[in-house]
Amino acid sequence: MPKLEPERSLWLEPLVEDPFGHRISYLRVSVTDRCNERCRYCMPEEEQAWFAKDETLSYDELLRTVRVGATLGIKKVRVTGGEPLTRPGVAGFCADLAQIPGIEDIGISTNGTLLAKLEDGVTMAERLVKAGVRTANISLDSLDREIYKRTTSRDLLPRVMEGIDAAIAAGFQSIKFNCVLMKGQTERELPALIDFAREKKALLRFIELMPVSTQDVLSEDNFLPIATAKKLVEQTAGELTPLPEFRTNGPAAYHLIPATGQRIGFIGAMTNLHFCENCDKLRLTCDGKLRPCLGSYLEFDLRSVMRGGCSDADLAAFFQNVVARKPKEHDFRHNYQPNRRMIAIGG
Ligand code: SAM
Ligand code: SF4
């Protein structure tokens, strides 16, 4: 891993733009590498080498990092993992995030299994909304209990359904469902997922499988490109209309189903050659590495700098150096061999 010392001299103005014109305003913050599921594209069943507690950034360390990031132009934070809702105190952490000057938008990425969990009669979803979390992205690969179980190695679809209802009742401003495209599986799931998302008034996004697991997931056998998924959707829903003007906080390209007015997102990290052009993100892993790109080997050890007693100005300089090293585009198309599991990066 390249070593990056804070360089005071590089700390000039708030740096929100890298040399390729990516304007950085979004930080994905992973709060844990632990998860109560084992999705086969993310984390194989046998892989359970969790970070020790002292290797994981404390909430105070995460908050300090976001506070410094906010002074440089970070406006949006997405709390992720692993499964972020498995870390105790996560709603309180989100409430503290919402107090940081400059942070305008907080989202959570979750598998949904714990959203309906009650504490003192209040659901986790309600706690998050009360804390100021605006959007919930919920993984949903299948509505078929057996297929869900096969994909996640856990029989938790009923709990996810409760979680989705809890999220709707709690009043998130936006709910998205994320489905990772798996050849031989998702094809027959598409119509049901589309109908379900429409009923629940959620935005559905289909995500191309990326090489971000220690498992050899990116084989011809299970890779389903977004172009094929689009064609399959059109077979049942009619021709899709591209919506280039409709953007949310991510890289999804949205299309309209004219007959129903429903919008569907396609996230084609592997086949969309323009995928990285509008990237506005950095990622902070739960063990304190700042990553300029999901699909790059680059990561920088913010934890040791912070625990070494650096000032906020040093931390800001560190951030700026990482932004300055953000690559033009990801490396996924160049025989990328992940150096970290997705679960340890934060999706
Ligand atoms: N546990 C939460 C969840 O499942 O949504 C948050 C973390 S998860 C790593 C974030 C997102 O990454 C999920 O939407 C998941 O489907 C996606 N993901 C994981 N592995 C992937 C892969 N190999 N290719 C594409 N997306 C992946
Ligand atoms: Fe857990 Fe989310 Fe990874 Fe599935 S995708 S194993 S739910 S972190």
pTM: 0.91
Tell me the CATH number for domain 13-345. 3.20.20.70
Residue 204 Cα to ligand 1 middle (Å): 14
For the Cβ of 81 lying below 6 angstroms from any atom of ligand 1, the answer is: yes
Q: 14 burial class (0-12, 13-18, 19+ CB within 10 angstroms)? A: middle
Residue in 31, 33, 47, 111 to alter for ligand 2 test, most ligand atoms within 8 A of Cβ: 111
Q: What percent of the chain has pLDDT over 90?
A: 66
How confident is the model over 83-113, as pLDDT tens digits? Answer: 999 999 999 999 999 999 999 999 999 999 9
How confident is the model over 216-259, as pLDDT tens digits? Answer: 666 778 889 999 999 999 999 999 999 988 877 667 889 999 99
For the chain, list residues with pLDDT below 70: 1-16, 18, 20, 22, 44-48, 213-218, 249-250, 273-275, 295, 298, 327-347
- Nearest ligand 1 atom, CA 346: 9
For the Cβ of 35 lying below 6 angstroms from any atom of ligand 2, the answer is: yes
Nearest CA, atom 4, ligand 2: 39
Give the domain ranges of the chain: 13-345
How confident is the model over 72-82, as pLDDT tens digits? Answer: 999 999 999 99
